[in-house]
Each structure stands twice: as C-alpha cells, then as structure tokens.
Structure 1
Amino acid sequence: MKKKLFLASIVAIAMMIGCKKGSVLDQVKTNDQNESTTFADSARTMQFLTRIYTDIGFSADPRRFGASVGIYSIGDETESNLTAGTAFNIIFQTGGISAINIPTDAWFTTYANIRRVNLLLRNIASTPLSTPLQKRVAGEARFLRAWYYFILLKHYAGIPLIGDAVYEATDPISGKRNTYEACVNYISSECDAAAALLPKAYVGLDYGRVTQGSALGLKSRLLLYAASPLFNGRSDNMDGVLGYPTADVARWTKAAQAAKAVIDLNQYQLYDLPLDPKPGYGFQKVFTLRKNPEYMLALMMAPNRSLESIWDPASRSGSASAWPYQELVDAFTTIKGLPITTDIKSPSNPTGYDAANPYANRDPRFNWTILPNEGMRLNATKTISPVYTYVGAAQDGYGTTSTTKTGYYLRKMLDDNTINNTSSATTERCFPLMRYAEILLNYAEASNEAGDVVTAYEQLKLIRKRAGILPGVEDNYGLPDGLTLIPMRTIIQNERRVELAIEEHRYWDVRRWKIAETVSNQTLHGMKVTKVGTGTPATYTYDLINVRTPVFTAPKWYLWPIPQGEVNKSVDLLQNPGW
C-alpha cells in the first residue's frame, strides 16, 4: 500500500463526511460503502482509522463550547469575551448548567468513536493490511478507545463499559454504569495492550500517530486521577461508581510507577534552548513546532494561525477572546522561583517582586503565557512592539466593550512570527494533548503523595530549569530545603498551574484535588492599569478589580451530569448525585 501523509488524511477525511451543495430537494448520490467494502480495501481501512483520530482533541479544543470558549474559560484561568446569557462560559460560571443543557460532546463524541474502534477491531484481521500493520492499527485503535473512555471517566466517573460490542440501532443496550475501579482497570489494561503493539516512534509520513509512549502516558494520567482525593476513597460512591470506597496510599505508588515507565522509555525530553538569550524560550518554542522531543500526543494540524486568531488583541488582528485572571498571573513566581508574596524587591534584593513594576523579574513562563501592559508582540508591519492595556489605550486598552476586562491577553502558544493577518506567516503548531512536562509533574505529585519527596524535588528542578528560573547558590531553583508532604504538595499544584496553563489541566486538577469548592467560589480579579503623566519611560498605577464570582455547588459540581436525554432512555443509567 502506498504510504499516505497522515496529516493529509485527516484533512481529506472532511471531504468524505461533507455535504453536497444545493437544494435539500436535490437528488444526492448516496455513499455505496458498507462495512464489508470499507474493510476489504486497505486505503479505506486506514481512512476509517483516521476518522477516529479526528475527534481526539475535542475536549481540549479552544473552541469546544462554541465560538471561542474552551474549558479554560469556564474555570479560574481566563474570562471570555462572550457575555450573552446563552454563552456556555456564562452558563457554567453562573451555575446555570443542568442535566438538560449540559454540553453533550463528552458523552456522544466519545461513545461514537468507541463504537468506531470496535467496528474496526471486529474487522481488522480480515483486512488486506499486512500482519505487522494490522497489529499496529489494532494498537492505535485500542489506545484511542482508552483515550475516549478516559474523557468519559473524568467528566462522569464510572460509565458503561461496552467491551468490543458493536450495537446496532435496534439492539437493546444496558445503561448500567460500571464501578470506577472497573473502568480504571479496563482503561489501564487497554493502555498496556496498546503499548505492546505500538512502536516507540514513527519516522517520515506517519509522524503524529499514537506511540507506545502515548499509551503509557495516558496510563500515567489515569492512575494519577484515580489516586487523587476526589476518587480515592469516597463514601457517596453509588456502589463504587463514583470512586473507590476506601482510600489507599498505594494508588499513589502505582501512579508514580506509571509515570516512571514513561521516563524509562528514554524517548522524550523537555524541549530546551539553553543558549538562547531569552530565558525559558524552549518553553515557548515547543508549542510552535510540529515535531519536537516533548510532545507525546498532539492534535495534528495543517499550518495555521488558529490561536493567534482568537487570542491576540485587536492591534494584532485577533479577536481577543480570552483574558487571564489575576489569580493565574499571581501564580507565577519571581525569576528566583519564589512566591511574589515573599520575594519582595529591596536594595539588597533587586530582582524581587516590585508592586510598582509587577511584570519585571518574573518566572520567564509568565511572559510566554500572559500578555500584560507593554508586553511585546509582532504587529502588522512585522516588527515587535508593545501592547498597551492601560485605561484608554488605543485598540487594546482596558474599559471598552471589546477589550480586556482583566488587564491581560493570552500569550501562550502564540508564534513570535505570526499574527492573524493575511501577510503574516503561519505556524507549524499542533495543539498539545500530552507532553513530557506533564509526566514529570505526574511523577513529582505521585511520588510526593507516596512519601518520596526527594523524587518530587528532582522533577520540579528539571521543569524549573527549562523554564529559565535562576538556579540559586544551591541549585534548588527556588525550592526551599526540607519540604515535607503538604508544603511540597502546594508547590506542585502551583507548578502544574503555571506549566500546564490553558492546556485543559487546571479545570480537572482542582476537581480531582477536591479544592474546587474553595478556588471556584472565590471572586476572580483583574488589574486596572492607569497611565500616569506623559513621562518617558511611562509610569503606571495598578489597582486590583473584581471581574467575576463564579458559582460552584459542592459536591455535585465535582462531576458533570450525564445528559438527561440519555438517562431517560434507560432505567439502569443512574444520574450523578445532585443532578
């Protein structure tokens, strides 16, 4: 079989599922393909697999909830520019979500793809693919099935497992939910089975397919969630559907071992550019490269300006759809890796935090994630210039109906050489779904909770070194000596917040840690920046402002409700508590 470009296949698949233009009364030639003819052809078999891949990034999609609202806009990371009462960011943040109006993609998209996987696996042995390729395709399919099941699990806890069944429209289907433990065991075993069938890496045109590391990485994420407080021991467990009835610290040990298995592949590393004059530039650059040693799974994309179009401010031809909250801004430490509340600038500490110049001397990831007042971005004349967010500033300033309400714009993952402009270059960006930095943080967290704080130190140092934080005289990158479990836990949670910001982690992290009822009920803030006088350089005052007080009702909001329409179809399908 002639080799085909994987990315091209993903783009081409849209042509297979598109509609013919014209009147709805026009005669349309129907597709004459069926199960038999599809899997009798090698190219069609591979196209069928590609169709399963196309939805792999839906839960992390920056436009998941319509327009430009991603999951980062329904938590405590960013305020959205959408204000209509029907916008999902408003419905979520004001507590208006119910089992009737909850987005259904987490249920329908996942089960649709699980069925496709089962259909492919039912036919794989009879396809004309070579035996080695059959095995690899089976491994890809089993990973994808595990991936979609995990998305279900993090939204709803225990869900119905259907095994290899392929149900038809008239088949009776039990809606009985499996226990959380059974779901974890099943997904974990599927990850192991997929890993045994998949290569460590691909060369040439197959780059972007799932690998052994993808499978083991998903297992790491799965077991980390399973060990977390939300699921690891809960009394309101609906006969085990919502979590393990009894907490067990050994689950943290298993999570640590799963992360270590990925590390031991020696296949991945943090992308770093230590000789670059811009500190932490490897952290920024990795998001603009199609191929790099850090990505373990990505949503493959054609050259694009997708994020620039929705996150850049108006002066950079963007729609400025997401504005970071001050709480995310304050999570970034100083350049020394110390909290801004303790590392204060003084004559003897010139690189400490300065409230009069709050964006100087910060963790370099700050300026690669947040675009504050005077933050630098490419403009339409293809030069780098500051973006002004102060009150009354042209185009991007605070206080109008279409500009930032927090004093900030998003900068993360945007290409230095790209804006949403027809004369601008495109970027090679592929949206990250799993990267090695997450595995190191998984290993740090699980090790710390299992009593191994030394290992946690080691992983955090690697992360902070790549970030461009100063090592300090003890090479601790701002980490205090002698940390015990709880202080280290606090640091790890903050490290995940800044390293993995806007990558679909924070929303689920605060839930699995069971801190959402605290952090998701607090008023979220912005910064009102006011220019003082006309001097050069400009001086500003900074005033904290209230932006939104979201609603989080515990305990029901720790899990999503199953769409009520699905619950109505089966007396066996029990709704999550409170919904």
Structure 2
Amino acid sequence: MKKVFLIICCAAALFSCRKLDQPNTREFTEEAYWRDAQDALDALTSCYENMSSDFYYFGNEALSDNAYVAGTGFSSVSLVAGGSYDPSNARVTAEWSYRYGAIRKCNIVLENIDKVPSMDETLKRRIIAEARFIRAYSYFELTDWFGDVPFFTTQISVDESKTISRTAQNTVLDFVLQELSEIRGDLPTNVQYAEKDRGRITRGAAIALSAKVQLKRGVWEEVKNECELLINSTENGTYSLLGTYANLFKVANEFNSEVILDLQYGGGRTFSTQRSFLPQTVALLRSVLVPTQDLVDDYIMLNGKAIREAGSGYNENDPYTNRDPRFEATILHHGSTITDFEGQVQTILTQPGSVPATNSVDDQGASPTGYYFQKHYDPTAPNYNSGLNLPIIRYADVLLMYAEAMNELNNLDADIWNKTVRATRVRAKFTDAGATEFPTGASQPQLREIVRRERRAELAFEGVRAFDIRRWKIADVVLNKPVRGIKVSSGAFNKDPNGYIIVEARRFEDPKHYLWPVPTFERDQNQNLGQNPDWQ
C-alpha cells in the first residue's frame, strides 16, 4: 500500500466508472482528462471507492467487545483488540494511508473540476458537494482513531508532505462540521435522485454525519437539532424504519427507506469477506471473525429485561429462548439453521462433542467462541462474492442518537421514547409492554444503560460499537477482560468459574489506547508529526 507522503501529493490513475457501482480502470493525463462532465463523474467515483471497504467495515467490529478475530486475520486487528500492538501494526498503518488516499482523490476532483468546459452548474455543485463530503468523512475517521492529524485541503508537494505537522483534532472537526453544513443545499434528498444515481451521497447523509460528529464531541443540543431535521421533517429526505429487521441486510432490499449512507457494491465491486464469519460448512473457509459471549449476553429478553435482571426469565440451560429477535437475525448459535449457498438447510452445532464436529468449538477451523455472524450473509453471491451494500448510517441509528442526546439533556420522556427506542423494538417484533413501553420512574443513568444496550443490539456487526465504547470512555472496561465463548461442560478448554470458554485475554490501557499511534513509516518520513501520548 502506498504511504501517505506519496499518496497525498503524487498524481495517479483515477478509476473510471459509467455507473456508480461498476468500476473500471482508465489511465489519464492532465492533458487528456477533464474533457467533459463524465470525466468529473468518473473521478468522483474513485473517491467513493476509497470512502471505506468491507475489510474495515467487518474488521472494525473486532476492535470492540462484539467480536473476535482468530489469529492475525484482517491485517492484525486481533493485535489491536488485544492491546499488543505498536506503531508499525498493519491495521494502524493501513487506516492512515487509506484515508489520505481518499482525501487525495477528493482534492484532485475539487482542484480540477473547473477545467471541464460548459458543465451544467447544478451537476457541478453536486459533484463538488459529494467530494467535500467524502473528504470530510475521511478526516472524521482519521481524527476518531488518531486525534490530531495532518490537515490540508489542496494537493501538497513531496517536500511539504515531509514537513507538515499535525492539526488539533477539534480544529479538524470544526472544518468537518462546516463542510457538512455548507454542502447541504447542493445535495439532493434521497427521493430526488434518479434510479441510476441511487447510492450517491444525499442531504440526509450530510445531516446524519454531522449528528454523528457532534455525538463524538458530546454536544447534545446539536445532536438533537441535527436529528430533528430528519425525524420531524421530510424536507431533507424521507426516511422510515423498514418493516422487518432481517430484511435490511438482503440484496433484494437495498436502497430501502432506512438507508441514509452505505458502501456501494455490485457490478465490478464485490466482497468475499462473508466467508470469514460464516460457519466453515457454509463458506468452506476457516471461521475467523466471530461474535463474543459478551455480545450474546447483552441481548435482552422479550419482556425487556436484561438476562441477569430479576424477573427476566432467563434460563442458562436454554439461553437462546425468548431473546431479542434481533439476536437470531444477527448470530448463529448451537441449533441454529441456515440455508447454504447450495440451497441446503444446515443445522449449526457448536457444542463440543457434536456430530458432525465441523462447526463445533472442537474443530480447529471453527469459531472458537461457538458463535457465527449471519447478518450480511448473501446466499445469492456467485462464488461467494457478494454485491450487498453495507450500511454506514441507517435511520435507526439517527433515532437512537436522538434518544441518547435527549437523555443526556435529561429530556427523554415517553414521547421521545415512542419515536425512538419503542420504534426500533416494535420493528424488531417485541410485543411485551415491558419492552415497548416507556419505563416510568427510571433514572437518567438507568435510561442511559437502556439506550446504550439498544444501540448495541440494533447496530451489531455494523462497525458502530468500537466508535461507541471509545466515545463513552468504557473501552478500558469492556476491552480489559477476556474474550469469552459458549458455556461448556466437557472438553479441554480454558474456562471461567461459570464454565464459559476463555478464548483470549485482552488489554486496553487508559488513556494510551484511546488513540492509535502515528504509524512508524509516516514518522520516519516526517519528523514533524510527533506521536500520541504514551506511544514511542
């Protein structure tokens, strides 16, 4: 992978694409490019391709307490999650260079679009707005992981890239928020795009991302204001919860009413990452990205109670009955069934001693926790290569950001509850009043716990949890304990006192691990970058 000091200043090929989801490569020179509007659109498509990837989307889940990567798959994600990494770690280095690759591409578009002759002004403003959004999103991701980062909005020279210093995180975030505010008027809403342009960045995406940036900062009044632009009005887009939770993650329901921003796949852009999280009898590969027992334990009962709460009805000998319906839509457990790529129904057996043992914790290639993800499974994928779009921000996320902000403002009442938590639970098919009705008399801390648990269940395996536990400053708690798997009564397993498999110990140092280190390669090229606290 190219490093940032080259990425941010060297001219390179831009991918051409006549449809947003079907990239092809085409070499260009400055003299031969920027001939017409299609050249500008093609260059913009290259920015989209660098906005994120399935590798980060899925792998980031294992940077939280939701998932575990067995071995050093996903470019050393397990080392980061376990706290055994340094500035040369491949995942850390890749994040830095990947995001600056996107910024470079966006700057190329923004600096060159005026060269296109006789371009429709509305289209031009929209392309500029989309490029500014992707650049802002990339800077947001960089600051979220690294804090202070090099900041620039034009192409810089090789010499400049070797001397530039880092800009304060808050200054960069101020820029991100300003960009997201200024571009809104030039972005269509989700219902204004023609079918051929579905998947492009919308006005609603700019508002939702702005809310997420303010969520990171804990500026609750601004989170409230941004979310209300999407919840209480259709002026900025028409959004609603899809009727069935599991249907959100199927190819047939792409571009549904809940999608605000997603990664575009299909045509020439596909991913086979699902082979890493499915049972090996389904995907015919080792299962290396798997759910944790801690995630499983956090799904509430149908009566709305946590499993350890008095009156929950939880039975440790029958742990998967009467649980949050989103659990079954997200995770495969012992006794689950799944239709494989050949159309055959398989029963997944994970307990030791199961026959066959292929998917059980006994098998070296199976999930070490005894669980598998099925969310985002695309059984229609030819040769396992899926074209399923991956949601970055859904309307449900906006509802729960709103609920969290209102609670932190001490204004979470029955009316707000009904619009947010109750709405996501009713869509999930909860019917018991204990789960759907506002918990009158609950304190602000109690409501905070409910809203946070709801975010975890609703958004599991969508790359959100790592962001949440770090902004809540609980990563040093939830990542400072072992990864656990299923409860077993036999077999030579390392177990905790309650009989749950201990897969691996994790370590998270506060404050050191709340920011990633500046990669070694980057500091070797530029001594002005400095380093984050407690890193060398």
Q: Does TM, normalized by the shorter one, top 0.5?
A: yes
1:115-166 alpha-carbon deviations (Å, 9 max, x no partner)? 2222211222331331111011111111111111111111112323213x22
Contact residue 317 and residue 420 of structure 1 kept, 8 A: no
Q: Which residue does 1:401 correspond to in 2?
A: 364
Which of 359, 366, 369 is the matching residue for 2:330? 369
Contact residue 268 and residue 293 of structure 1 kept, 8 A: yes
Is 1:217 the counterpart of 2:229? The answer is no
Which of 494, 513, 516 is the matching residue for 1:557? 513
Q: Which residue does 2:248 correspond to in 1?
A: 286
Alignment of 1:530-545 (within 5 A): 543-545=499-501
CA distance in 2, matches of 1:484, 1:52: 45
Is 1:41 the counterpart of 2:4? The answer is no
Contact residue 246 and residue 329 of structure 2 kept, 8 A: yes
Q: Which residue does 1:338 correspond to in 2?
A: 305
Is 1:99 the counterpart of 2:99? The answer is no
Q: Which residue does 1:151 correspond to in 2?
A: 141
Paired residue type of 2:228: K
Contact residue 305 and residue 311 of structure 2 kept, 8 A: no
1:243-275 alpha-carbon deviations (Å, 9 max, x no partner)? xxxxxxxx21112212222324433434433xx
CA distance in 2, matches of 1:259, 1:293: 16
Paired residue type of 1:198: L
Is 1:187 the counterpart of 2:176? The answer is yes
Which of 154, 160, 164 is the matching residue for 1:175? 164
CA distance in 1, matches of 2:96, 2:480: 27
Contact residue 81 and residue 402 of structure 1 kept, 8 A: no
Paired residue type of 1:342: E
Which of 249, 258, 266 is the matching residue for 1:302? 266
Q: Which residue does 2:417 correspond to in 1?
A: 457
Is 1:12 the counterpart of 2:3? The answer is no
Inter-CA distance 157–262: structure 2 relative to 1 (3 Å threshold) = farther
Give the superposition deviation at 1:337.
1.9
Paired residue type of 2:259: Y
Q: Which residue does 1:520 correspond to in 2?
A: 479
Inter-CA distance 138–255: structure 2 relative to 1 (3 Å threshold) = same
Which of 289, 295, 310 is the matching residue for 1:322? 289
Paired residue type of 1:293: S
Q: Which residue does 2:186 correspond to in 1?
A: 197
Which of 434, 438, 456 is the matching residue for 2:397? 438
Paired residue type of 1:398: V
Q: Residue 514 of structure 1 aligns to a residue in which SS?
A: coil
Q: Which residue does 2:319 correspond to in 1?
A: 358
Inter-CA distance 64–185: structure 2 relative to 1 (3 Å threshold) = closer
Contact residue 326 and residue 526 of structure 1 kept, 8 A: yes
Paired residue type of 1:324: P
Q: Which has the larger radius of gyration?
A: 1
Paired residue type of 1:290: E
Inter-CA distance 87–170: structure 2 relative to 1 (3 Å threshold) = closer
Select the structure with the greater relative contact order (CA < 8 A; seq sep ≥ 6).
Answer: 2
Contact residue 72 and residue 79 of structure 2 kept, 8 A: no
Which of 380, 388, 394 is the matching residue for 2:349? 388
Q: Which residue does 2:461 correspond to in 1?
A: 502
1:182-227 alpha-carbon deviations (Å, 9 max, x no partner)? 2221100100112111000212101011010111111011010011
Is 1:311 the counterpart of 2:312? The answer is no
Contact residue 223 and residue 258 of structure 1 kept, 8 A: no
Which of 418, 438, 449 is the matching residue for 1:490? 449
Q: Which residue does 1:232 correspond to in 2?
A: none
Contact residue 227 and residue 399 of structure 2 kept, 8 A: yes
Unaligned 5+ runs, structure 2: 1-15, 491-497
Inter-CA distance 7–491: structure 2 relative to 1 (3 Å threshold) = farther
Identity among equivalent positions (%) equals: 28
Where is the helix percentage greater, Structure 1 or Structure 2? Answer: 2
Q: Residue 171 of structure 2 aligns to a residue in which SS?
A: helix
Which of 73, 78, 95 is the matching residue for 2:67? 78
* Aligned residues between the structures: 498
Give the superposition deviation at 1:400.
1.6
Contact residue 241 and residue 396 of structure 2 kept, 8 A: no
Paired residue type of 2:388: R
Is 1:121 the counterpart of 2:85? The answer is no
CA distance in 2, matches of 1:313, 1:386: 10
CA distance in 1, matches of 2:238, 2:147: 30
Inter-CA distance 54–428: structure 2 relative to 1 (3 Å threshold) = closer
Moved more, 262-271 or 126-135: 262-271
CA distance in 2, matches of 1:176, 1:106: 18
Is 1:263 the counterpart of 2:223? The answer is no
Q: Which residue does 1:236 correspond to in 2?
A: none
Q: Residue 39 of structure 1 aligns to a residue in which SS?
A: coil
Paired residue type of 1:195: R
Which of 128, 131, 134 is the matching residue for 1:141? 131
Paired residue type of 1:337: G
Inter-CA distance 568–204: structure 2 relative to 1 (3 Å threshold) = same
Is 1:89 the counterpart of 2:77? The answer is yes
Paired residue type of 1:256: K
CA distance in 2, matches of 1:445, 1:83: 35
CA distance in 2, matches of 1:344, 1:324: 26
Contact residue 369 and residue 411 of structure 1 kept, 8 A: yes
Give the superposition deviation at 1:428.
5.7
Q: Residue 150 of structure 2 aligns to a residue in which SS?
A: coil
CA distance in 1, matches of 2:89, 2:161: 26
Give the superposition deviation at 1:522.
1.2
Give the superposition deviation at 1:95.
2.4
Q: Residue 432 of structure 1 aligns to a residue in which SS?
A: strand
Q: Which residue does 1:50 correspond to in 2?
A: 45
Q: Residue 572 of structure 1 aligns to a residue in which SS?
A: helix
Q: Residue 70 of structure 1 aligns to a residue in which SS?
A: helix
Moved more, 96-105 or 303-312: 303-312
Inter-CA distance 390–173: structure 2 relative to 1 (3 Å threshold) = closer
Moved more, 91-100 or 291-300: 91-100
Contact residue 398 and residue 528 of structure 1 kept, 8 A: no
